[in-house]
Amino acid sequence: MSTSEVTVAELPAVLPVFPLDGVLLPPRGILPLNIFEPRYLNMIDDALAADRIIGIVQSVAGGDRARPRLMAVGGAGRITSFAETQDGRYLITLTGLCRFRLGDELQLQTPYRQVRADFSVFAADLQEPSEDEVDRQPLVEALKRYLGGRDMELDWSAALAAPTEMLINSLAMALPFEPGEKQALLEAVDLEDRLRVLTALLAIHGAGEDGDSGARMQ
């Protein structure tokens, strides 16, 4: 089921959340995860038995490491692939559905955390954006400068042929930005704003960089 076939009313009012710093899940983003902690194995079991939707959210820096305070906005995704390894891990893929604003955390007996989720302010996430007038050239130029000073390579033919949203999501999710920068990308108003934020981050981190690259960015 694509995001365009889902309505806000069909999304869960209570959402299990997986705190992961430095990770974001934008609408239609593809996030592979290796699940091995017992509490999150339990979470995946419960999600698979229900609507297969979980939330990915970062924590606020400087809090309790055992139970950190969570950021105000996360990304909800549906489990779209699942495999179990011989040593008991789960290999799953989440496909981003819609961002959500975290409400009250529920005091339940589950080993994982659950929150009330407000999707209403991000209802536009459920519709694929128009890419007709998006100018990607500043992004491409900033990306070339950024990669030029790091041990990274990119399949430019595939990147330039990719739809704009797929390219922006892939870069925003894969590049090693700081958690606060990842959050800024997640909370960008729309695709055009996320493109602007991503281009600015690449320009900041790529300023003055030069050189060749050897490793390939996946």
Domain 3-126 adopts which CATH fold? 2.30.130
112-166 pLDDT, tens digit per residue, is 999 999 999 999 999 988 776 788 999 999 999 999 878 778 898 999 999 999 9
What pLDDT is recorded for position 218? 39
Q: What is the dihedral of CA 68, 72, 78, 82, to 10 degrees?
A: -20
Report helix, strand or coil for 30: strand
At 208, is the pLDDT very low, low, confident or very high (cuts 50, 70, 90)? low
7-20 pLDDT, tens digit per residue, is 999 999 999 999 99
Structural domain boundaries in the chain: 3-126, 137-206
Q: How would DSSP label each residue in 66-134?
A: SSPPBPSEEEEEEEEEEEE-TTS-EEEEEEEEEEEEEEEEP--SSSSEEEEEE-GGGGGGGSPPP-TT-
Provide the mean pLDDT of the chain: 90
The token pair that represents 6 in the structure block: 């889902």
- For helices 191-206 and 164-174, what crossing angle results, to 10°? 50
At 4, is the pLDDT very low, low, confident or very high (cuts 50, 70, 90)? low
Neighbours of 112 (CB within 10 A): 20
Q: What is the H or E stretch that residue 205 is in? A: helix 191-206
83-107 pLDDT, tens digit per residue, is 999 999 999 999 999 999 999 999 9
Measured at the CA of 121, the angle between CA 80 and CA 108, to 5 degrees, comes to 65
Q: Are 24 and 172 in contact (CB under 8 A)?
A: yes
At 1, is the pLDDT very low, low, confident or very high (cuts 50, 70, 90)? low
Residues 36-56, mean pLDDT to the nearest whole number: 97
